[in-house]
């Protein structure tokens, strides 16, 4: 078995928007989540839940997009729907909405860590992803179609699948640009 270091996976992982025709098995997604669920959360509440749309159930996402993206032109909506039909799986990441602002921020950070873990473990398994996030107006419409409770937040939707080619890395800021030493 060939293993890749976590440092290499972090540096090589890319956002994937073009998926191959290779089916993505539910067992592979379950394996990814099984590792990713170890995301740190100091309160140990694991404030997230995941909703998978796979196989024929992907039509629910496509139907939701047709009803939600009414602001797009007919041409743009048609192109968007055509793209969605190429996505093998949609993983909706949902978080509890707590009243206390500090707890809410802690939960959002922990849920974001879960998402990063899903992306990194997926990359190790040659599963690419793009994370889509939405503003509150769009999210409220999406919640209605996906059956997400009003006291929950859709943090994002991961579009997942195998891919043929990874994009070239974009330039990143240097450590010296990012780090202030006091």
d(CA 167, CA 152): 34
pLDDT score for 136? 77
Query: Does residue 176 form part of some domain?
Result: no
CATH of the domain at 158: 3.40.109.10
In this predicted structure, which of 26-40, 116-130, 137-151 has the lowest mean pLDDT? 137-151
> What is the percentage of the chain residues whose pLDDT exceeds 90?
77
Mean pLDDT across 81-102: 95
d(CA 109, CA 135): 17
| Count of structural domains within the chain | 1
pLDDT score for 145? 83
Given a cut of 70, is residue 179 above it in pLDDT? yes
Mean pLDDT across 146-155: 91
CA angle 3, 5, 9 (to 5 degrees): 105
Given a cut of 60, is residue 1 above it in pLDDT? no
Residues in Cβ contact with 176 at an 8 Å cutoff, skipping those fewer than 6 apart: none
Strand partners of residue 53: 90
In tens, the pLDDT along 3-12 reads: 679 999 999 9
Mean pLDDT across 30-58: 94
pLDDT score for 43? 81
Query: Does residue 6 form part of some domain?
Result: no
Query: Does residue 178 form part of some domain?
Result: no
Q: Give the residue from 158, 132, 152 showing the smallest Cα distance to 47.
A: 152
Question: Any idea which residue has 């994009």 for tokens?
Answer: 167
Given a cut of 60, is residue 60 above it in pLDDT? yes
In this predicted structure, which of 33-37, 61-65, 92-96 has the lowest mean pLDDT? 61-65
> What is the percentage of the chain residues whose pLDDT exceeds 70?
98
Query: pLDDT band at 68, cuts 50/70/90?
Result: confident
pLDDT score for 25? 97
Query: Does residue 174 form part of some domain?
Result: no
Q: Give the residue from 83, 45, 50 showing the smallest Cα distance to 156.
A: 50
d(CA 122, CA 158): 11
Domain housing 104: 13-164
Query: Does residue 119 form part of some domain?
Result: yes
d(CA 172, CA 10): 13
Query: Does residue 63 form part of some domain?
Result: yes
Residues in Cβ contact with 9 at an 8 Å cutoff, skipping those fewer than 6 apart: 120, 123, 124
Mean pLDDT across 82-98: 96
Query: pLDDT band at 2, cuts 50/70/90?
Result: low
């Amino acid at each position: 078995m060939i293993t890749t270091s976590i440092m290499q996976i972090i540096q090589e992982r890319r956002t994937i928007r073009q998926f191959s025709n290779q089916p993505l098995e539910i067992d592979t997604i379950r394996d990814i989540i099984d590792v990713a669920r170890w995301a740190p959360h100091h309160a140990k509440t694991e404030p997230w839940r995941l909703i998978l749309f796979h196989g024929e159930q992907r039509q629910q996402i496509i139907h939701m997009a047709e009803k939600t993206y009414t602001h797009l032109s007919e041409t743009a909506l048609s192109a968007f729907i055509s793209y969605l039909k190429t996505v093998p799986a949609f993983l909706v990441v949902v978080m509890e909405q707590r009243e206390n602002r500090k707890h809410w921020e802690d939960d959002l950070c922990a849920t974001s860590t879960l998402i990063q873990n899903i992306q990194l473990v997926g990359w190790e398994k040659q599963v690419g992803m793009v994370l889509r996030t939405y503003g509150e107006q769009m999210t409220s419409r999406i919640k209605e179609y996906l059956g997400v409770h009003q006291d929950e937040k859709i943090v994002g939707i991961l579009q997942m699948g195998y891919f043929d080619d990874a994009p070239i890395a974009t330039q990143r800021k240097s450590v010296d640009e990012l780090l202030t030493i006091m």
